[in-house]
A and B are shown apart, each in its own frame.
Chain A
Amino acid sequence: MKKIVFITLSLLLAVSFWNCEKDDICAEGTAVTPLVIIEFYDATTTTALKSVTNLGVIAPSFTTGFSFTGVSKIKVPLRTSADFTSLHFIQNGSDADTTNDNIDLLTFNYMRNDVFISRACGYKTVFFLDATNPIALTTDGNNWIQNIEVVQPNIVTENEVHVKIYF
């Protein structure tokens, strides 16, 4: 009995020290707020993937954005604090030459839901694209984007393509 008592006491003491340690780091690979996944296709041969060249994506009035080149699939973040996100998709936008830029304005309209993840990660936002007007392309007479197709309106994970853009 004495031995059991001794073991229990030492175990409990050890646990009381371990209790002071933190496990408050959000583990990598945790499903956090998803980015919208956009795949680019050829406007004429609509089944053929088409790579973008020097595509710049930037929020209006922002000074920094994202640039993509030589890829047909991109990820961009949506606003977690509003029910819409406007983004400039600029053809040839991420190269030094500004004369060949073609700016198209896309507005994503959605509903948001904040979902609890864990103590360390807090909450994430998931997005549900609007059924009637999910993504609006502002017509400017010189749009490089020909067509937009929403394949998965529920932006909950990053496991699948949400939007197809034809150009």
Chain B
Amino acid sequence: MLKYIFSLIVFCVSIIGNAQTKDTTKVLYPERYGLRLGIDLHKIGQSFYEKDYRGFEIVGDYRLTKRFYFAGEIGNEDKTIEDDGLNFTTKGSYFKVGFDYNSFENWLDMENMIFVGMRYGISSFNHTLNDYTIFDPTNYYGENTVLTTQKFNGLNASWLEIVGGIKAELFQNVYLGFSVRLNYLVSNKKPDNFDNLFIPGYNRTYDGKFGAGFNYSLSYFIPIYKKNKVVAEEK
């Protein structure tokens, strides 16, 4: 994981390096506007190599202005989590809507992004408790693990996300992106006698209201129209 983040940072820094070369003459470049659709590679990948996980996420954005993109994700997750005293399965779907702001000044006709954004996410899910161990401080009678099929249905949560990431055009119209997300729970409908330890789309929960996530996206850009960008003379 960290290896990939690192390589993306290096890549990202090299883009910034490029950006410092500034044009001194006034040139017109056509900027393309359109819809970009893709998938989260990490969730697809995990579905293959982890037997306790099935999930996917479709990502999309639509360019509104030079810098702003309407953006969102929609996905589904089915994850079984084994903790010290608990084993449970969470299933559910989610969607997130918001915007991305591209802070990256592209050189010539490049269309890369270093962006920040926000999302509002909503998730609907259920948990199935598979087994739990009673926390007995003495364990005098031996460890007591209780098998169950208790279901906790009709749960939901919503949260705000601050997103930061990059998207780079690998080749014509195909983009590879990485984003990290800081989540803040706005609402959280908890079950009786259990807790939302994992929320599809939000990821695992912590004691407070904060959480975090990330994705790797591979997406395809469908151009719809063009606008000219004017690169003004600098100095």
| A59 and B197 alpha carbons, distance in the complex (Å) | 37
On chain B, the residues within 8 Å of A11 by CB distance are 164, 182
B187 on the A face (CB < 8 A): no
On chain B, the residues within 8 Å of A124 by CB distance are 134-136
B17 on the A face (CB < 8 A): no
Q: Is the CB of A121 within 8 A of B138?
A: no
Contact of B136 among A13, A77, A118 (CB under 8 A): A77
* 20 A–B contacts, CB within 8 A, in A order: A2-B103, A5-B101, A5-B164, A8-B116, A12-B162, A12-B163, A13-B164, A16-B5, A17-B2, A18-B212, A26-B85, A35-B138, A66-B140, A77-B137, A80-B136, A81-B141, A118-B195, A122-B133, A122-B134, A123-B132
| A124 and B136 alpha carbons, distance in the complex (Å) | 7
Q: Is the CB of A119 within 8 A of B133?
A: no
Q: Is the CB of B140 within 8 A of A114?
A: no
On chain B, the residues within 8 Å of A32 by CB distance are 135-137
Q: Is the CB of B84 within 8 A of A77?
A: no
Which chain B residues have a beta carbon within 8 Å of chain A's beta carbons? 1-2, 5, 9, 83-86, 101, 103, 114-116, 132-138, 140-141, 144, 146, 162-165, 180-182, 193-195, 197, 203, 206-207, 212-214
Q: Is the CB of A114 within 8 A of B182?
A: no
Q: Is the CB of A5 within 8 A of B138?
A: no
Residue of A at shortest CB range from B150?
A114
On chain A, the residues within 8 Å of B182 by CB distance are 11-12, 15
Extra A-B contacts (17), CB below 8 Å, given A80-B134, A80-B141, A121-B135:
A12-B212, A13-B180, A16-B5, A16-B214, A20-B1, A26-B85, A35-B137, A114-B193, A119-B83, A119-B195, A120-B84, A120-B85, A122-B83, A122-B84, A122-B85, A122-B132, A125-B134
Which chain A residues have a beta carbon within 8 Å of chain B's beta carbons? 1-2, 4-5, 8-9, 11-13, 15-20, 23-24, 26, 32-33, 35, 59, 66, 77, 79-81, 114-125
Q: Is the CB of B207 within 8 A of A23?
A: yes
Q: Is the CB of B83 within 8 A of A125?
A: no
Q: Is the CB of B116 within 8 A of A9?
A: yes
Q: Is the CB of A5 within 8 A of B134?
A: no
Q: A16-B180, A119-B83, A122-B83 are in contact. Are A33 and B103 (CB under 8 A)?
A: no
Q: Is the CB of B195 within 8 A of A116?
A: yes
| A59 and B132 alpha carbons, distance in the complex (Å) | 24
Contact of A59 among B116, B135, B141 (CB under 8 A): B141
Residue of A at shortest CB range from B192?
A116
Q: Is the CB of B164 within 8 A of A12?
A: yes
Contact of B84 among A24, A35, A79 (CB under 8 A): A24
Residue of B at shortest CB range from A125?
B134
Residue of B at shortest CB range from A32?
B135
On chain A, the residues within 8 Å of B144 by CB distance are 80-81, 125
On chain B, the residues within 8 Å of A114 by CB distance are 132, 134, 146, 193
On chain A, the residues within 8 Å of B101 by CB distance are 5
